Amino acid sequence: MAEYTYEDLKNHTVTQLREIAKGLESEEVRGYSTMHKEDLVQAICRALGLDARVHHEVVGVDKKSIKKRIRELKKKRDEVLAAGEGKLLKPILRKIHHLKRKIHKATV
């Protein structure tokens, strides 16, 4: 049996997926001939023990350092909240938001 990934299976046609399911002897793919494509892909992934999620990749930024900076800002936010200094809170929250957006925009 060929090695498959979630992306490979998602790009197959329903007919091809049914052929793959026919070769599997698993309770997960029982009734494969009447399943819709997305259900069939999920069932085959469960039968093969594959991770059935789309994995995104961050390109062009150093995600690790940005996440570290966010954690530092969250600690500072908690300190400001504990001290009751509301005027210092908004710039910290804006910076956290900006850094999260930076990661989100770099996600492919």
Each residue's pLDDT tens digit, 9-60: 999 999 999 999 999 888 989 999 999 999 999 999 999 988 877 778 889 9
Position 70 confidence tier, pLDDT thresholds 50, 70, 90: very high
Co-location of 44 and 71 in the same domain? no
Q: With contact defined as beta carbons under 8 Å apart, do 3 and 11 qualify?
A: no
Co-location of 41 and 10 in the same domain? yes
- Residue 1, pLDDT > 60, answer no
Return the SS3 of 16: helix
pTM value is 0.58
Q: With contact defined as beta carbons under 8 Å apart, do 36 and 59 qualify?
A: no
Structure tokens at 21: 């399911």
The size of the chain, in residues, is 108
Identify whether 53 is part of a domain: no
Task: Tell me which residue range forms the domain holding 13.
Answer: 6-48
Rounded Cα gap, residues 41 and 47, in angstroms:
10
The letter for the amino acid at 100 is: K
